[in-house]
Chains A and B, each alone.
Chain A
């Protein structure tokens, strides 16, 4: 009896000790604000990384699921070539929310792809305006990375991406369909597809993944604002919640037109029947297998589609989003992608920059661009980034260029917006006006919370 008791006590002590040792290891790596770490910062800044005894850990936090594996490969090569530095990638699907927790807890990543206006305003990211990378980057991209409030760049984008409507060329040619410029035309085309191809979903959306629906809002609904005001003005108006310019709650405004379009398409049965439970992966699969005629996606999806069915290569068409409001034109997303920021709380900015230097090397950028199938922002990188080069060029010429909406208030994410679209689809709102009003209400509430 005594022995078992002693054994148990010993076990408890061992566990606590192990736990304690684990703790000391963790606290060496985490960026807690205490003196020992301050000393470490000073010494690594002054010395070459190779000279310090402990390797420097760089935490890279990303929300981009498609690039996780590729980045890990690149990271492994970097780590091997730089023995004093260890880069670790962490992926979270809900990255834009998780990063708030990270900042609050002191578990701050060194490099991240998640950049929000709130945090820029609070000075959480290093000012990268004077980095050498910009010399090799297309000035138009540099513009897109510029913070409208300060005129500085807090993030560097390595690629451009486009988003619009992918369509199955075969089906379109078979039915003699062109590229619709208005939503009404578009619905007509979809109806023809529905009538002639009974087991193909005319317009397939993965409604369970609210971010996808959030994108529809960013591109189609906000697209109205962005083209009417111009890119820079629209950013300013959105940030200031200037209702006289953005008209969020109005009939005939962007949100109402958007809701009306969605409701109309739904009522005509032109969406996939499992709109609410289908996911991004379902959508990609459906399109790759020819079971979906049109999908709304970005270039980031191309890799997945072709991996599933390489024969789709010649069969993918790409067109801008038809306009949803009288007097507006089709829009296409042409924006910066794969942007990286370094946090001010990072204790190893030099090493972080070294990693970015490595990442931005020409051959790595070629590999990256070809993988994500989108053009590089670097002028000296010519990658064969994809079979859709022609289609994309054509679509870019056919639509007004708009960017992502980075100006949403921090309590109202793309995910939240997407959920409102789910509610819209289910019939929670009696009319498209009701949707517009609810959207404005939610936007205002979130905006007031972060701007009081």
Chain B
């Protein structure tokens, strides 16, 4: 298996080590040199051997480029990142979940293989594997392994319940992901299990988190503060601090991907916060999302229209940019809004709030207190 990846990323060329945040930006001719070296059976050039030692402590001198550096072919497509929902199924039943119907369904392995090759062909270097809970998907290990072999930096979004499983620990320490983002749903069993509606889930989360930390995996936490656990916000922060883990806090609940309101009652009213002004988006341009059935969309929010990747292949992605431009235009009641310059809700998300008949103050500045606008 490769030690490094050399790849174009948008308008730059990079050398990366899977699972590490440090990287190298290289000139295009240097990338070409590596590409040629694979064909020629040459050894790692001195500039890379030196840089790899300095950056990652790797001794690559004298090693062949082939087998050491996975030099990715340049993609004619403009994408650099993508997310792939392996399966919407989950072992929890959180009220706030934006997925609504968490149906267990996904592509067969041959189709997933084809999908991952399409994603690679599109130029994706960073791939988020998500769900549902991706680690309960029966083909997770196969997907992870192939995405890694194809030269993608893997980010996993997980509830952490399976991280103590030796099979996963072995996989994740061998084929190291760039990041594992673990959601935090409470600081005590009482609140956590109440939110997930699964007895024992807090214990599983703690075991998984501690096992992953002990294994040195690159963990980051997403603290999800809802009405079920808002009183434990400081304690959840402390959990992260005690483990020296970076974290983000999310306090605004969203409608489901179908525009359903059932996730919104989980909102802790006192934690509803104003979003940063929306200043544009790369969704559909350098980022795309793929659902469990191989349907591509500009992102997880704006899922309509979708492109059937299994039918259209990578060429179908060329239409996403135009779709994104259309979806992001202010429309309906937002057309001509005088506050659009400071609005923090993108149009696809606003459309879901509207479909869910959500309270206006949860997504629109016109109903926020004046001092907050």
Partners in one complex: no
Chain B interfacial positions (CB closer than 8 Å to A) = none
Interface residues of A (CB under 8 A from B): none
